[in-house]
Copies of this chain bind each other. A is one copy, B any other.
Amino acid sequence: MPHADKPYQLHDQVGFRMRQANQRHLTIFARYIPHLTPMQFAALSKLDELGAVSQNDLGRQTAMDAATMKGVIDRLARKGFVATEADPSDQRRLLVRLTEAGKDIYAAAVPPARAITEETLGPLTAREQARFLQLLAKLAL
């Protein structure tokens, strides 16, 4: 006799639940930092940490596709938060760096960003939060 086939319930699948958890996170993000998208913030954060990097490199650091990265950088440049220049040592590379305005915006966004993380994990106890982050790390790319 075959095992009773468990019904396939969309709501119980990892993918669906991860999507919902992420949706909630994005809503919280938009409330704390309305003027930046999560991707724009991620780019600013890495640029602040690394200084001048090539566009593709920044994409790798922030887990963004090259095509996606270009769009993000274009929009950040339009807002005046980043500046680009050709890499003298490699004519293919486009170096990206923070402007002064970009540094200021990022510095001002870090405290709200901490609050976003805190509120996103709010439904969990401290122990659960730590465990969740550990499990996520195992499931990351």
| Residues of A that sit less than 8 Å from B by CB | 8, 10, 12-26, 29, 38, 42, 45-46, 49, 62-63, 110, 113-114, 116-117, 120-121, 123-124, 128, 131-133, 135-141
CB-defined A-B contacts under 8 Å, sample of 12: A10-B42, A10-B46, A12-B133, A13-B117, A14-B25, A14-B132, A15-B38, A17-B133, A20-B141, A21-B141, A24-B139, A131-B135
How many copies make up the complex? 2
Q: A18-B18, A23-B63 are in contact. List 14 more A-B contacts (CB 8 A).
A: A13-B113, A13-B117, A14-B121, A14-B136, A15-B22, A15-B26, A15-B38, A17-B137, A19-B22, A21-B140, A23-B141, A120-B139, A121-B139, A131-B135
A139 touches B117 (CB 8 A): no
Q: Which of B26, B113, B140 interacts with A20 by CB under 8 Å?
A: B140
